[in-house]
Structure 1
Amino acid sequence: MCKHLYIHVPFCIKKCRYCDFYSKTNLSLISDYVTALVQEIRLRSPSTVLQPKGNAATVYFGGGTPSLLGPQHLEAILRALDNAFGLCRQTEITLEANPGTLDEIHLKSFQSMGINRVSLGVQSLDPVQLALLGRIHSADDAVHAVEKVRAAGIENISLDLIYGLPGQTGEHLIRELDAALDLSPAHLSCYMLTLEPGTALHAMHERGQFLPMAQSDQVDLFYAVATYLKARGWDHYEVSSFATHTALRSLHNRAYWQMLPYHGFGPAAHSYAVKGDTDGSAVYKRFWNAPDLNGYIRALKKGEFPAFDSEILTLEQRQIEFVMVGLRTSMGLDIRTGQSLWQNRFLTVFQRLMDNLEDKGLARFQDAGQRFVLTLDGWMRLDSIVTSFVEKI
């Protein structure tokens, strides 16, 4: 039974300049999308007499802008998920929200139907940076959004922040963090600005209208964020993720980093499954729906699965992902899992590299040598360290 569920809501009022996630601005299709989504959930339901449903551990509404959905739409989706997979009071149900799209009455309805975590796309509390990023909300909107969510009875609030914009200094970034901390969030996701192909900022860069910050300056800002939040008692449990307490880490994202199976629903949504082969061995499969909202609606209206693509992961792919996601987290690489993936050769292949990184202060062994974890200095060199592991695979 899959314990982790992702819902992709492909609607935005306006496309942000930095975002490459699949979304459309034609909001008139929301009702048709929800009808199709409920049908997809039913078609993919594992519940049978022989395999009764369990209880999902997490549900994550991502996008796009999931907060554009009204209570009736969200209730229909959650009812379908409950019927297919089972939800309970302990299920972490996260709703991504844009501060400019939140209604107080709707929020109270969301809370009553089980949504217990809200991830607000604040991105910045500086008007100049918000304009550069192409956001539709103001800094005041972000402050009021936090107040609305909390007034609705949802205390588990995460704020997304983007840093590394041209001209940003360490002092400016600390002021941003102080403004965010004044809102008393439970969680922060602090992302470095990256130029993704197909985005407006990438096009501006190619036209010479946008000059990104030098990578060395971005690394300095990463160090400033990490040290500042650590000094204030925050739990830095993944490169971009901070929680006020270990109990408030994102359970859904942790499932990704632990390479646990998950179901994705909606156009462009990805899924990951582990199934038994005819010979008793495990097959690791990733599949994803086509990024085509109209095609998605048409197929499911006919009772058919939407167009999708898939791949069976090779052992090498699984090894690379194990390294890439493990080194991003404060849990690091589990040596026993590595030994299993490498047929008891993990230490043979990587011991010298790991010892070298430890000698340089970039990593350390924990749990009596059963975990290998990067230090903050190691995280500052994450890309090159991952490359050094991948070269040995």
Structure 2
Amino acid sequence: MIESAHLYIHVPFCIKKCRYCDFYSETDLSLIPDYVTALVREIRLRSQLTASRSKSGAATVYFGGGTPSLLGPRQLESILRALDNAFGLWRQTEITLEANPGTLDEIHLKSFRDMGVNRVSLGVQSLDPAQLSLLGRIHSAEGAVCAVKKVRAAGIENISIDLMYGLPGQTEKHLIRELEAALGLNPAHLSCYMLTMEPGTGLHAMHERGMFLPMAQSDQVDLFCAAAQYLKACGWDHYEVSNFARHTSLRSLHNSAYWQMVPYHGFGPAAHSYAVKFDTDGSAAYKRFWNAPDLDGYIRALKSGKIPPSDHETLTLEQRQMEYVMVGLRTSMGLDIRTGQNLWRNRFLTVFQSLMENLENQGFARPRDAGQRFVLTLDGWMRLDSIIASFVERI
């Protein structure tokens, strides 16, 4: 059995590419059946490459994309059956399905729930018609509200809503109104992402043609602060820069594994994996693997019984140190000093003590758990990029 208990499935299909999105996806939905067949073969082939076949069970499964809600019940069932054969899916396994509000079918949702899907992440992005149009979404504000009701009516209560802020013309008052409307839908979780312009996206092309002017970063940071303060006042758990849970028990277990640098395995074109391989002498190698973002090549390779085109790298100690800092500072758990000491061979405090004390004195960070953790405050998160850069300079 593959060693990772956290599994990611990339479903690379969209009805229409949104203007802000740079994730790999295709719009030829006729390829979905061939993709599912190939995906099931990839899961089986990769599981056969490992020596161990004991089923410790998958802790999480995350269907991302793309638009996983474009899958039909039989297609999802065949994928889950393959994962169960390779890993073991238990009642407590967190199984998340990303969904576009414009692609939900209530009968399908009930089937998904019966198969074990117990968490749905809805890509709402905005409840403002003008903003939805700018982003190129296929659903309306009313459709998003209806989608939440459909998911709940299907018996799935663990609902996460994605929202985007920092859109042109957006004010603090406008954002708080959106958050109020979102909380009125009683979700379990909110992901609030700052709009960014990535190369190759529609918004980036519009910007180059002078048709789109992004909000100034300082104004985006002000909106981030306003959202965080509002949700904190409402009693929400701000456990990662962009993520909030109604209660600590409702945090995303899958994404939390990423942020804790726990090994995971990805399937599907463009999916990434992270693994720790131990040698006979007890030494460990930290490796990252990824499938090529090529749906045709993926289907073709697996049809002939081959592993799909992929690449890999072995992380250097410096890369692992940078990732530890970059990921840890994003979370409310912060940096674990003992882990840092191990990673820096007992030199973590020597390297960073003065920097951490300076950040604490400025109110940008605080110690936690009797000094065993170093955590950024909200003011620190507002300066996250520059603080990370200060740590990286010392690595």
TM-score of the superposed pair, with normalisation by structure 1: 0.99
In 2, distance between residues paired with 1:236 and 1:127? 27
Q: How does 1:1-393 map to 2 (within 5 A)?
A: 1-45=3-47, 51-393=53-395
Task: Please list the CA deviations of residues 245-293 of structure 1 after superposition, one character each: whole Å capped at 9, or x if unmatched.
Answer: 0000000000000000000000000000000124320000001000000
In 1, distance between residues paired with 2:366 and 2:55? 41
Do the aligned partners of 1:117 and 1:157 also contact (CA within 8 Å) in 2? Answer: yes
The one-letter amino acid paired with 2:132 is L
In 2, distance between residues paired with 1:85 and 1:315? 30
Q: Cα distance 1:48–1:328, how it changes in 2: closer, same or farther (>3 A)? A: closer
The size of the alignment, in residue pairs, is 393
In 2, distance between residues paired with 1:183 and 1:292? 38
Q: CA RMSD for the aligned pairs? A: 1.0
The one-letter amino acid paired with 1:34 is V
In 2, distance between residues paired with 1:298 and 1:46? 20
Q: Aligned with 2:318: secondary structure?
A: helix
Q: Which runs of 4+ in 1 moved over 3 A?
A: 46-51
Do the aligned partners of 1:46 and 1:53 also contact (CA within 8 Å) in 2? Answer: no
The one-letter amino acid paired with 2:324 is F
Q: Cα distance 1:364–1:46, how it changes in 2: closer, same or farther (>3 A)? A: farther
Do the aligned partners of 1:47 and 1:53 also contact (CA within 8 Å) in 2? Answer: no
In 1, distance between residues paired with 2:87 and 2:204? 40
In 2, distance between residues paired with 1:46 and 1:302? 16
In 1, distance between residues paired with 2:17 and 2:162? 17
Task: State the identity %.
Answer: 82
The one-letter amino acid paired with 1:68 is L
The one-letter amino acid paired with 1:178 is E
In 2, distance between residues paired with 1:137 and 1:277? 51
In 2, distance between residues paired with 1:307 and 1:47? 16
In 2, distance between residues paired with 1:104 and 1:50? 39
What stretches of structure 2 of length at least 5 have no aligned partner? none
Deviation at residue 53 of structure 1 after TM alignment: 1.6
In 1, distance between residues paired with 2:258 and 2:130? 34
In 1, distance between residues paired with 2:231 and 2:296? 44
In 1, distance between residues paired with 2:150 and 2:96? 16
In 1, distance between residues paired with 2:216 and 2:37? 46
More deviation in 366-375 or 49-58?
49-58
Deviation at residue 92 of structure 1 after TM alignment: 0.1
In 1, distance between residues paired with 2:25 and 2:369? 43
Do the aligned partners of 1:46 and 1:85 also contact (CA within 8 Å) in 2? Answer: no
In 2, distance between residues paired with 1:209 and 1:178? 31
The one-letter amino acid paired with 1:142 is A
Deviation at residue 16 of structure 1 after TM alignment: 0.1
In 2, distance between residues paired with 1:12 and 1:47? 31
In 2, distance between residues paired with 1:52 and 1:277? 20
In 2, distance between residues paired with 1:107 and 1:367? 42
Q: Aligned with 1:88: secondary structure?
A: strand
Deviation at residue 48 of structure 1 after TM alignment: 7.5
In 1, distance between residues paired with 2:52 and 2:352? 44
Q: Aligned with 2:91: secondary structure?
A: coil
Do the aligned partners of 1:10 and 1:23 also contact (CA within 8 Å) in 2? Answer: yes
Q: Aligned with 1:328: secondary structure?
A: coil
